[in-house]
Amino acid sequence: MHSIEIASSPPKMETRAVAARKWWTLAAVCTGVFMLLLDITIVNVALPDIERAFHASLSDLQWVISAYALTLAAFLLTAGSLADLYGRRLLFASGIAIFTVGSLCCGVATGPLFLELARGAQGVGGAIMFATSLALLAQAFQGHDRGIALGIYGAITGVGIAIGPVLGGAITTGLSWRWIFYVNLPIGIAALAITLLRVDESRNPDAKRLDWLGFVTFSTALAGLVYGLIESQRDSWGSATVTGSGDSAGRYRGNGRSQRGVVKVFPPTGQRFHTGGASATASVTVGDTGSGTASDTDTRNIQLSS
């Protein structure tokens, strides 16, 4: 006689617990992404109050917006590669913590420079959250549920951008411009708690080492490009500041070489600039960054908007 072993199915309680964790992951990801997208537009309506509080110049107000967009775009590649190596939950939680602390610093800012630096810190945290959000969802959800999760994620991103001016106006009028940053504190703390307690860790087992030279080159070129665009509204396009910034960015075309790839920022033939709203769309070619998922030469569009 042959004995037949029948594998017992897992307890229903355990199955429900596993199923619940993936929806907690969706809640944490959507909360973090909602915060970072909300802060792209919520600040716009508070600029007149910030100007009166700090006697800020037009350039100062532009940098309050652009410092966030700049660091958000510049650190996306770095954050994605670090998450593949060290863990997506770890990086996502770190991003929430940095963003929340940055929000606190924005709320207690004593001058325009302090506020601009704090906004830059917010952008770093936002980049980390944005770079790891879809990877966490893809790890947690499979099949039909993944489509539902991505649909909810897409809806939340749309609402986060659209509701910013309305919510910012209500908070600024009813309380103070500082509260548009303070409101992130309880939300960030809640999202961090959910992430640490309910989200499973994941990483890319095939992740390659980091290309630090490529990251530094790309970030520096992008910073010079955006700085020139912002300063062009105060100075003329032919001023030393603007032309020097553009030249600095252009010099990285072909100079950002490492063993693993090239970072290039193409000159104006491949770019569209809209300086009226302190926004820019630049076509860049990025060499393999070590994330294990990028092709040898990956062309991407980086858009900064405010």
Non-local (6+) Cβ contacts of 69 within 8 A are 40, 123, 226, 278, 279, 304, 305, 306
Q: What is the pLDDT of residues 14-63, one digit of tens each?
A: 466 666 788 898 999 999 989 888 888 888 888 889 999 888 888 788 88
Q: How many CA atoms lie within 13 A of 100 on its CB side?
A: 17
Beta strands in the chain (DSSP E): 256-257, 262-265, 271-274, 279-287, 297-304
* 181 lies in the same domain as 46: yes
Angle between helix axes 112-140 and 47-54 (nearest 10 degrees) is 150
What pLDDT band is residue 164 in, cutting at 50, 70 and 90? Answer: confident
* 191 lies in the same domain as 221: no
* 82 lies in the same domain as 175: yes
CATH code at position 94: 1.20.1250.20
For tokens 């590669």, name the residue. 81
d(CA 74, CA 218) in angstroms, rounded, equals: 7
Range of the domain at 284: 212-304
d(CA 306, CA 293) in angstroms, rounded, equals: 29
For the chain, the domain total comes to 2
Domain limit, last residue, from 176, 198, 220? 198
d(CA 169, CA 185) in angstroms, rounded, equals: 19
Does 11 fall in a domain?
Answer: no
Q: What is the pLDDT of residues 53-86, one digit of tens each?
A: 888 888 788 888 888 888 888 788 888 888 888 8
How many Cβ atoms from other residues are within 10 Å of residue 217's Cβ? 22
Does 6 fall in a domain?
Answer: no
Helix (H, G, I), strand (E, B) or coil at 139: helix
Regarding predicted confidence, which is higher, 282 or 236? 236
Maximal C-alpha separation, the chain: 92
Does 97 fall in a domain?
Answer: yes
